[in-house]
């Protein structure tokens, strides 16, 4: 890790933190009266972070595959805050399933509540899934892309974590295609720390899994696709050996 990249990383993180309330306040009047305003404010912040990452820390963001534009379930690998921004920016009408604590976060909580994101308590698994299904069913009057993280939390590149049953329940309930999403974003923007590695962060929208598969078959297929593609993206970075690969 070189000193110059450390300085760039710190400056990047500072400006991204400062800009969040600026954009939040700028869009607040529109967001308070319109869901479109809330979406626009969040998209403005996502695009700002992605743009500044390119020239401040030499981190380019690339979306591969074909993101859905109609109603769909999106099941994504989660390694970093960056992959959230990239997926959000790539989808026209996303609704994320989020841990309930985030509804109280300054600016973020108010915006995602207005956009009708779905909050669940990860500490109460059965109740969380029931609530999740009920809220998804109630929101079907509006087409959109429901984004869930099948492993339930961030995981470091190259690590294996179990895929939870909630995604399969939603897949059965919605009867919509499920788009697996792979990523290598955690290589460049890790879960902890300020250092940001230069390179190309990728989120890859893989071909959809059609509705109708049995639960166990769906989970196995989803995990195989996401993990295989994420490992391939890790190999592309040239630093797979740092994560126990090769």
What pLDDT shows up at residue 137? 67
Confidence of residue 13 (pLDDT cuts 50, 70, 90): very high
Token pair for 17: 């933190």
Residue with the bigger pLDDT between 176 and 101: it is: 176
The pTM (predicted TM-score) of the whole model is 0.91
In this structure, the strands spanning 199-205 and 178-183 are antiparallel
Cβ-contact 35, 229 below 8 angstroms: no
Whether 144 has a pLDDT exceeding 90, the answer reads no
Question: Is pLDDT at 117 greater than 80 in this prediction?
Answer: yes
Long-range contacts of 16-25, Cβ-Cβ distance < 8 Å, separation of 24 or more: 16/48, 16/49, 16/52, 19/45, 19/48, 20/45, 20/107, 21/106, 21/107, 23/48, 24/106, 24/107, 24/111
- HEC string of 146-185 equals EEECCCCCCCCCCCCCCCCCHHHHHHHHHCCCEEEEEECH
Query: pLDDT above 70 covers what percent of the chain?
Result: 90
The residue extents of the domains of the chain are 62-243
Q: Which residues make Cβ contacts (< 8 Å) with residue 18, sequence separation at least 6?
A: none
Strand partners, 89: none
For tokens 């989120």, the residue is 203
User: 98 in helix, strand or coil?
Assistant: strand
Residue-wise pLDDT for 42-89, tens only, equals 999 999 999 999 999 999 999 999 999 998 999 999 999 999 999 999
Spatial CA neighbour of 63 closest among 41, 91, 95: 91
Say if strands 118-120 and 94-99 run parallel, antiparallel, or are unpaired: parallel
- The encoded tokens of residue 216 equal 């166990």
pLDDT-based confidence at 105, cuts 50/70/90? confident
Structural Rg of the chain based on CA atoms: 18
Q: What is the pLDDT of residues 36-48, one digit of tens each?
A: 999 999 999 999 9
User: What pLDDT, on the 0 to 100 scale, is given for residue 113?
Assistant: 82
Segment 98-103 shows an average pLDDT of: 77
Least confident of 138-152, 190-204, 208-222: 138-152
Determine the pLDDT at residue 91: 96
Which comes out higher in pLDDT, residue 134 or 172?
172
As a CATH number, domain 62-243 is 3.40.1130.10
- pLDDT value at position 123? 64
Say what the pLDDT of residue 82 is: 96
């Amino acid at each position: 890790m070189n000193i110059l990249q450390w300085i760039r990383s710190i400056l990047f993180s500072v400006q991204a933190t400062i800009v969040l309330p600026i954009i939040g306040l700028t869009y607040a009047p529109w967001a308070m009266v319109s869901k479109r305003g809330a979406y626009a404010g969040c998209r403005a912040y996502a695009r700002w972070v992605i743009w500044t990452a390119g020239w401040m820390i030499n981190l380019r963001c690339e979306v591969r595959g074909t993101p859905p534009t109609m109603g769909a379930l999106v099941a994504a690998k989660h390694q970093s805050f960056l992959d959230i921004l990239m997926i959000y920016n790539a989808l026209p009408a996303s609704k994320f399933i989020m841990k309930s604590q985030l509804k109280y976060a300054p600016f973020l909580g108010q915006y995602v509540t207005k956009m009708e994101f779905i909050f669940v308590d990860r500490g109460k698994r059965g109740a969380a899934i029931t609530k999740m299904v009920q809220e998804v069913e109630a929101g079907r009057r509006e087409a959109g892309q429901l984004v869930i993280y099948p492993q339930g939390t961030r995981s470091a590149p190259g690590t294996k974590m179990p895929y939870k049953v909630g995604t399969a329940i939603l897949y059965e309930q919605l009867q919509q295609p499920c788009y697996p999403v792979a990523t290598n974003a955690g290589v460049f923007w890790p879960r902890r720390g300020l250092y940001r590695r230069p390179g190309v962060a990728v989120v890859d929208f893989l071909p959809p899994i059609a509705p109708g598969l049995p639960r166990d078959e769906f989970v196995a297929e989803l995990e195989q696709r996401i993990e295989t593609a994420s490992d391939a993206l890790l190999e592309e970075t040239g630093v797979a050996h740092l994560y126990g690969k090769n």
